[in-house]
Amino acid sequence: MIPPGGEVQKGQRPFWPPGGEGQEGRRPSWPPEALLGYLLLAVLLAAWEAAARMGALPADLLPPASAVLGELWRLAVSGELWRQGGATLGRSLAGFAAGGLLGSALGFCCGAFPRFGRACRVTVEFLRPMPSVALVPIGILFLGLGFGLCVAVAGFACAWPAYVAALAGAGAAGPQLRDTARVYGLSPGETLFFVRLPAAAPQVLSGLRVALAVAVAVTVTTEMAASPNGLGSFILESSLARRPEAMYAGIAAVGLLGWGLGAGFTVLRDRALGWMPRGGRR
Protein backbone atom coordinates (compact mmCIF):
# COMPACT_ATOMS: atom_id res chain seq x y z
CA MET A 1 0.00 0.00 0.00
CA ILE A 2 1.31 3.47 -0.92
CA PRO A 3 1.73 5.83 2.02
CA PRO A 4 -0.58 8.84 2.00
CA GLY A 5 0.90 11.85 0.23
CA GLY A 6 3.84 9.97 -1.25
CA GLU A 7 4.93 7.64 -3.98
CA VAL A 8 6.89 4.45 -3.84
CA GLN A 9 10.14 4.74 -5.72
CA LYS A 10 11.38 1.99 -7.94
CA GLY A 11 12.93 -0.77 -5.84
CA GLN A 12 11.56 0.69 -2.61
CA ARG A 13 9.20 -1.30 -0.41
CA PRO A 14 5.97 0.25 0.73
CA PHE A 15 6.16 0.99 4.43
CA TRP A 16 2.53 1.64 5.23
CA PRO A 17 0.84 0.47 7.47
CA PRO A 18 3.31 0.76 10.38
CA GLY A 19 4.85 -2.54 11.35
CA GLY A 20 4.30 -4.10 7.95
CA GLU A 21 7.90 -3.77 6.82
CA GLY A 22 9.90 -6.93 7.02
CA GLN A 23 6.94 -9.20 7.74
CA GLU A 24 6.92 -10.75 4.30
CA GLY A 25 8.94 -13.89 4.05
CA ARG A 26 9.31 -14.18 7.83
CA ARG A 27 9.85 -17.81 8.74
CA PRO A 28 8.69 -19.34 12.00
CA SER A 29 11.51 -19.96 14.44
CA TRP A 30 12.58 -23.51 15.21
CA PRO A 31 12.21 -24.92 17.71
CA PRO A 32 8.94 -23.18 18.54
CA GLU A 33 9.05 -21.10 21.71
CA ALA A 34 6.43 -23.36 23.32
CA LEU A 35 8.90 -26.25 23.20
CA LEU A 36 11.86 -24.46 24.76
CA GLY A 37 10.64 -25.00 28.30
CA TYR A 38 10.17 -28.73 27.69
CA LEU A 39 13.60 -28.98 26.09
CA LEU A 40 15.21 -27.36 29.12
CA LEU A 41 13.36 -29.76 31.42
CA ALA A 42 14.54 -32.73 29.34
CA VAL A 43 18.14 -31.49 29.51
CA LEU A 44 17.95 -31.11 33.29
CA LEU A 45 16.48 -34.59 33.70
CA ALA A 46 19.18 -36.05 31.46
CA ALA A 47 21.89 -34.30 33.49
CA TRP A 48 20.33 -35.59 36.72
CA GLU A 49 20.22 -39.13 35.33
CA ALA A 50 23.81 -39.02 34.10
CA ALA A 51 25.14 -37.59 37.38
CA ALA A 52 23.34 -40.26 39.42
CA ARG A 53 24.48 -43.11 37.15
CA MET A 54 28.12 -41.98 37.30
CA GLY A 55 28.03 -41.86 41.09
CA ALA A 56 28.39 -38.10 41.38
CA LEU A 57 25.23 -38.07 43.50
CA PRO A 58 24.60 -40.45 46.42
CA ALA A 59 21.83 -42.86 45.41
CA ASP A 60 20.31 -42.93 48.91
CA LEU A 61 19.83 -39.15 48.79
CA LEU A 62 19.12 -38.45 45.13
CA PRO A 63 18.25 -41.55 43.05
CA PRO A 64 18.31 -41.44 39.23
CA ALA A 65 15.53 -39.53 37.50
CA SER A 66 14.39 -42.74 35.79
CA ALA A 67 13.85 -44.38 39.20
CA VAL A 68 11.78 -41.41 40.38
CA LEU A 69 9.68 -41.42 37.19
CA GLY A 70 9.19 -45.18 37.54
CA GLU A 71 8.01 -44.73 41.12
CA LEU A 72 5.67 -41.95 40.01
CA TRP A 73 4.18 -44.28 37.42
CA ARG A 74 3.84 -47.09 39.98
CA LEU A 75 2.04 -44.79 42.39
CA ALA A 76 -0.29 -43.65 39.61
CA VAL A 77 -1.12 -47.21 38.56
CA SER A 78 -1.71 -48.36 42.14
CA GLY A 79 -4.06 -45.43 42.78
CA GLU A 80 -2.03 -44.07 45.71
CA LEU A 81 -1.08 -40.96 43.76
CA TRP A 82 -4.71 -40.18 42.92
CA ARG A 83 -5.83 -40.64 46.54
CA GLN A 84 -3.15 -38.40 47.97
CA GLY A 85 -3.27 -35.91 45.10
CA GLY A 86 -7.07 -35.76 45.21
CA ALA A 87 -6.99 -34.81 48.89
CA THR A 88 -4.46 -32.04 48.21
CA LEU A 89 -6.40 -30.83 45.17
CA GLY A 90 -9.67 -30.53 47.09
CA ARG A 91 -8.08 -28.63 49.95
CA SER A 92 -6.16 -26.33 47.62
CA LEU A 93 -9.23 -25.43 45.57
CA ALA A 94 -11.37 -24.87 48.66
CA GLY A 95 -8.74 -22.62 50.23
CA PHE A 96 -8.27 -20.78 46.94
CA ALA A 97 -12.02 -20.24 46.51
CA ALA A 98 -12.43 -18.85 50.01
CA GLY A 99 -9.24 -16.80 50.24
CA GLY A 100 -9.25 -15.62 46.63
CA LEU A 101 -12.85 -14.41 46.81
CA LEU A 102 -12.39 -12.61 50.13
CA GLY A 103 -9.04 -11.11 49.17
CA SER A 104 -10.27 -9.86 45.80
CA ALA A 105 -13.44 -8.38 47.29
CA LEU A 106 -11.53 -6.69 50.11
CA GLY A 107 -8.85 -5.29 47.80
CA PHE A 108 -11.34 -3.92 45.29
CA CYS A 109 -13.48 -2.32 47.99
CA CYS A 110 -10.42 -0.74 49.63
CA GLY A 111 -9.38 0.71 46.27
CA ALA A 112 -12.83 1.79 45.12
CA PHE A 113 -13.89 3.32 48.45
CA PRO A 114 -10.95 5.27 49.93
CA ARG A 115 -12.55 5.79 53.36
CA PHE A 116 -13.13 2.06 53.72
CA GLY A 117 -9.55 1.45 52.61
CA ARG A 118 -8.15 3.83 55.20
CA ALA A 119 -10.25 2.16 57.92
CA CYS A 120 -8.91 -1.28 57.00
CA ARG A 121 -5.30 -0.28 56.38
CA VAL A 122 -3.88 -0.87 59.86
CA THR A 123 -5.55 -4.27 60.26
CA VAL A 124 -4.55 -5.40 56.78
CA GLU A 125 -0.94 -4.31 57.18
CA PHE A 126 -0.79 -6.15 60.51
CA LEU A 127 -2.12 -9.43 59.10
CA ARG A 128 -0.55 -9.42 55.62
CA PRO A 129 3.10 -10.01 56.62
CA MET A 130 2.13 -12.80 59.05
CA PRO A 131 3.37 -16.22 57.82
CA SER A 132 0.50 -18.58 57.22
CA VAL A 133 2.22 -21.49 58.97
CA ALA A 134 2.13 -19.46 62.19
CA LEU A 135 -1.64 -20.02 62.18
CA VAL A 136 -1.32 -23.82 62.22
CA PRO A 137 -1.26 -24.13 66.04
CA ILE A 138 -4.29 -21.84 66.33
CA GLY A 139 -6.06 -23.78 63.60
CA ILE A 140 -5.42 -27.07 65.36
CA LEU A 141 -7.09 -25.73 68.50
CA PHE A 142 -10.24 -24.63 66.66
CA LEU A 143 -10.44 -26.97 63.66
CA GLY A 144 -8.42 -30.05 64.53
CA LEU A 145 -6.36 -31.91 61.96
CA GLY A 146 -7.30 -32.44 58.34
CA PHE A 147 -9.49 -30.68 55.80
CA GLY A 148 -10.69 -27.61 57.70
CA LEU A 149 -7.24 -26.69 58.95
CA CYS A 150 -5.60 -26.94 55.51
CA VAL A 151 -8.38 -24.93 53.88
CA ALA A 152 -8.21 -22.17 56.50
CA VAL A 153 -4.42 -21.80 56.34
CA ALA A 154 -4.34 -21.93 52.52
CA GLY A 155 -7.20 -19.44 52.31
CA PHE A 156 -5.39 -17.00 54.60
CA ALA A 157 -2.20 -17.28 52.54
CA CYS A 158 -3.74 -16.86 49.09
CA ALA A 159 -6.01 -13.98 50.14
CA TRP A 160 -3.13 -11.50 50.13
CA PRO A 161 -1.91 -11.83 46.52
CA ALA A 162 -5.53 -11.49 45.45
CA TYR A 163 -5.96 -8.45 47.73
CA VAL A 164 -2.90 -6.62 46.37
CA ALA A 165 -3.87 -7.25 42.74
CA ALA A 166 -7.47 -6.17 43.26
CA LEU A 167 -6.37 -3.07 45.16
CA ALA A 168 -4.25 -2.01 42.18
CA GLY A 169 -6.95 -3.00 39.71
CA ALA A 170 -9.54 -0.81 41.42
CA GLY A 171 -7.65 2.23 40.14
CA ALA A 172 -7.33 0.96 36.56
CA ALA A 173 -10.34 3.04 35.51
CA GLY A 174 -8.77 6.48 35.80
CA PRO A 175 -10.51 9.80 36.42
CA GLN A 176 -11.05 10.44 32.70
CA LEU A 177 -12.91 7.16 32.25
CA ARG A 178 -15.03 7.79 35.33
CA ASP A 179 -15.78 11.34 34.17
CA THR A 180 -16.86 9.96 30.78
CA ALA A 181 -19.22 7.54 32.52
CA ARG A 182 -20.70 10.43 34.50
CA VAL A 183 -21.18 12.47 31.33
CA TYR A 184 -23.11 9.58 29.80
CA GLY A 185 -25.42 9.58 32.81
CA LEU A 186 -24.23 6.45 34.60
CA SER A 187 -25.01 6.33 38.29
CA PRO A 188 -22.22 5.58 40.82
CA GLY A 189 -23.44 1.98 41.08
CA GLU A 190 -23.50 1.55 37.30
CA THR A 191 -20.03 3.08 37.04
CA LEU A 192 -18.78 0.63 39.64
CA PHE A 193 -20.18 -2.47 37.94
CA PHE A 194 -19.88 -1.52 34.28
CA VAL A 195 -16.69 0.57 34.26
CA ARG A 196 -14.47 -0.07 37.26
CA LEU A 197 -15.00 -3.82 37.59
CA PRO A 198 -14.27 -4.61 33.91
CA ALA A 199 -11.20 -2.36 34.01
CA ALA A 200 -9.93 -4.16 37.11
CA ALA A 201 -10.61 -7.66 35.75
CA PRO A 202 -7.16 -8.32 34.18
CA GLN A 203 -5.26 -7.46 37.35
CA VAL A 204 -7.74 -9.27 39.58
CA LEU A 205 -7.41 -12.46 37.54
CA SER A 206 -3.63 -12.17 37.48
CA GLY A 207 -3.66 -11.92 41.26
CA LEU A 208 -5.91 -14.96 41.48
CA ARG A 209 -3.51 -16.95 39.33
CA VAL A 210 -0.70 -16.19 41.78
CA ALA A 211 -3.03 -17.00 44.67
CA LEU A 212 -3.78 -20.42 43.17
CA ALA A 213 -0.09 -21.37 43.20
CA VAL A 214 0.21 -20.09 46.77
CA ALA A 215 -2.79 -22.18 47.81
CA VAL A 216 -1.17 -25.38 46.49
CA ALA A 217 2.17 -24.63 48.16
CA VAL A 218 0.66 -23.74 51.55
CA THR A 219 -1.71 -26.72 51.47
CA VAL A 220 1.18 -29.12 50.95
CA THR A 221 3.17 -27.42 53.74
CA THR A 222 0.22 -27.66 56.13
CA GLU A 223 -0.31 -31.32 55.25
CA MET A 224 3.28 -32.01 56.29
CA ALA A 225 2.62 -30.48 59.69
CA ALA A 226 -0.95 -31.47 60.54
CA SER A 227 -2.70 -33.86 58.18
CA PRO A 228 -2.95 -37.66 58.03
CA ASN A 229 -3.08 -37.71 54.22
CA GLY A 230 -2.39 -35.64 51.13
CA LEU A 231 0.77 -35.15 49.09
CA GLY A 232 2.49 -33.18 51.85
CA SER A 233 1.93 -35.96 54.37
CA PHE A 234 3.02 -38.56 51.81
CA ILE A 235 6.28 -36.68 51.07
CA LEU A 236 7.13 -36.33 54.76
CA GLU A 237 6.36 -39.99 55.55
CA SER A 238 8.44 -41.16 52.58
CA SER A 239 11.37 -39.04 53.77
CA LEU A 240 11.18 -40.38 57.31
CA ALA A 241 10.96 -43.94 55.98
CA ARG A 242 14.08 -43.40 53.82
CA ARG A 243 12.20 -43.94 50.56
CA PRO A 244 13.79 -41.25 48.37
CA GLU A 245 12.16 -42.45 45.13
CA ALA A 246 8.69 -42.08 46.66
CA MET A 247 9.60 -38.74 48.25
CA TYR A 248 10.80 -37.22 44.97
CA ALA A 249 7.83 -38.74 43.15
CA GLY A 250 5.53 -36.93 45.58
CA ILE A 251 7.41 -33.67 45.02
CA ALA A 252 7.08 -34.16 41.25
CA ALA A 253 3.35 -34.77 41.71
CA VAL A 254 3.04 -31.43 43.53
CA GLY A 255 4.77 -29.71 40.62
CA LEU A 256 2.48 -31.40 38.10
CA LEU A 257 -0.57 -30.45 40.15
CA GLY A 258 0.46 -26.80 40.32
CA TRP A 259 1.35 -26.72 36.63
CA GLY A 260 -1.97 -28.26 35.61
CA LEU A 261 -4.00 -25.88 37.76
CA GLY A 262 -2.06 -22.88 36.46
CA ALA A 263 -2.53 -23.93 32.84
CA GLY A 264 -6.24 -24.53 33.33
CA PHE A 265 -6.71 -21.18 35.06
CA THR A 266 -4.88 -19.41 32.22
CA VAL A 267 -7.29 -20.91 29.68
CA LEU A 268 -10.30 -19.81 31.73
CA ARG A 269 -8.81 -16.34 32.23
CA ASP A 270 -8.22 -15.87 28.50
CA ARG A 271 -11.81 -16.88 27.78
CA ALA A 272 -13.15 -14.55 30.44
CA LEU A 273 -11.11 -11.69 28.95
CA GLY A 274 -11.93 -12.56 25.36
CA TRP A 275 -13.56 -9.14 24.92
CA MET A 276 -10.27 -7.40 25.69
CA PRO A 277 -7.39 -6.92 23.23
CA ARG A 278 -4.59 -9.36 24.02
CA GLY A 279 -2.14 -6.57 24.77
CA GLY A 280 -4.31 -5.37 27.65
CA ARG A 281 -4.15 -8.68 29.51
CA ARG A 282 -1.64 -9.38 32.24
pLDDT in tens, 99-144: 999 999 999 999 989 999 999 999 999 999 998 888 888 888 888 8
Q: What is the pLDDT of residue 95?
A: 96
CB 200 within 8 A of CB 192: no
- The values of phi and psi at residue 145, to 5°, are -95, 150
- pLDDT at residue 10 tops 90: no
Residue 46, amino acid = A
- pLDDT at residue 17 tops 50: no
- pLDDT at residue 27 tops 50: yes
- pLDDT at residue 278 tops 80: no
Q: What is the pLDDT of residue 182?
A: 81
- pLDDT at residue 196 tops 60: yes
pLDDT tens for each residue of 252-265: 999 999 999 999 99
CB 124 within 8 A of CB 180: no
The class level of CATH for 86-274 reads mainly alpha
First to last CA, the chain: 34
Domain ranges of the chain: 86-274
- pLDDT at residue 19 tops 50: no
